[in-house]
Structure 1
Amino acid sequence: MTTIADFSDYSDAQAAVDLLSDSGFEVGATRIVGHDLKSVEIVRGRMSYGKAALFGAGSGAWFGLLIGLLMAIFVPVGSLGTVLGAVVFGAVWGAIFGLIAFAAQGQDRNFHSQSTMKASSYTVEVPFDRARAALDILTKGR
């Protein structure tokens, strides 16, 4: 593999590969490689017992919906009641487990956040024997 382009933003690297694809270049072996990865944690807000219960109830309700829909496939009679019952059951247990998990952390972490990975730069790489064709497409397309 050989590097044909460097980008500071992932969307620019993605646009370059999209240009290659739109131009008929076989992108099956093309790679977008992120360099110097770092973990980024985005703090969303303060966590409280109420929010812990609410987030847990939401997660539990989704799980209950999944289980309820699966049960409705096998027990078609009264399936709406089965689905709603599973959603409520999941929400209640989700809230309980959300509260337990928050209480177990104590005051060590009283905020909620989202973790992501971010690269400082991105390169687009193609097989060495096809690099010239890819470079020609990129230089014409820019």
Structure 2
Amino acid sequence: MTQPDPRSALIPDQSARVNVATYATYPEAQRAVDYLSDQRFPVERTAIVGEGLKTVEQVTGRLDWGRAATLGFGQGIFIGLFIGLLFGLLGLGGGNLIYAAAYGMVMGALTGLLWSVVGYAMSGGRRDFTSVGGMRAERYVILADAEVAEQARTLLSNLPTR
């Protein structure tokens, strides 16, 4: 027997809910739900649903051996600094916070450099670019339980424009 997903109690089935408003951007939808909350509407009976989802990957530059090494080195420095400071603050860095931070930076930079160059070599030239990605929706729909949908529509009809 399969166990129910524990998140199902937090995210109810949306198919029984009613569309009360549609917005072009997430901040607009978020502002509308915030307005409902300010009006003492039971916002726990609503959901913001992104429709028409697509992934967008913006290419930010070329990736070659030098860039791979530089990115790994730089990321390693910051991760090493964080770990070194953490060890130093916990007294695990030989008792000297500056020594622990410096040691963490050096080890982090070397590890990051090595990890990045090995990863780039293993890619075999199949991904010679850097990018950032994310999800985008064409529209954001506010859904509400059928029993409170008309109240939500009425309140949102009075939502002040900016």
TM-score above 0.5, yes or no: yes
- Aligned-partner Cα distance in 2 for 1:45–1:80: 35
Unaligned ranges ≥5, structure 2: 1-16
TM-score (norm 2): 0.79
2:52 equivalent among 36, 49, 53: 36
- 1:47 partnered with 2:63: yes
1:15 equivalent among 31, 37, 40: 31
Unaligned ranges ≥5, structure 1: none
Show the 5 A alignment for 1:64-103.
64-75=80-91, 77-103=95-121
Deviation string 1:100-127 (CA, Å, 9 cap, x unpaired) is 1112212221111112111122100122
2:73 equivalent among 41, 44, 57: 57
Equivalent position of 1:120 in the other structure: 138
- Aligned-partner Cα distance in 2 for 1:82–1:140: 58
Partner-residue secondary structure (3-state), 1:141:
coil
RMSD: 1.7
- Aligned-partner Cα distance in 1 for 2:81–2:59: 29
Q: Percent identity?
A: 35
Show the 5 A alignment for 1:97-112.
97-112=115-130
**CA offset at residue 84 of structure 1?**
1.7
- Aligned-partner Cα distance in 1 for 2:37–2:150: 15
**CA offset at residue 83 of structure 1?**
1.4
Equivalent position of 1:131 in the other structure: 149
Larger RCO, structures 1/2 (Cα 8 Å, 6+ apart): 1
**CA offset at residue 24 of structure 1?**
2.4
TM-score (norm 1): 0.89
Superposition misfits of 4+ residues, deviation over 3 angstroms: none
**CA offset at residue 136 of structure 1?**
1.4
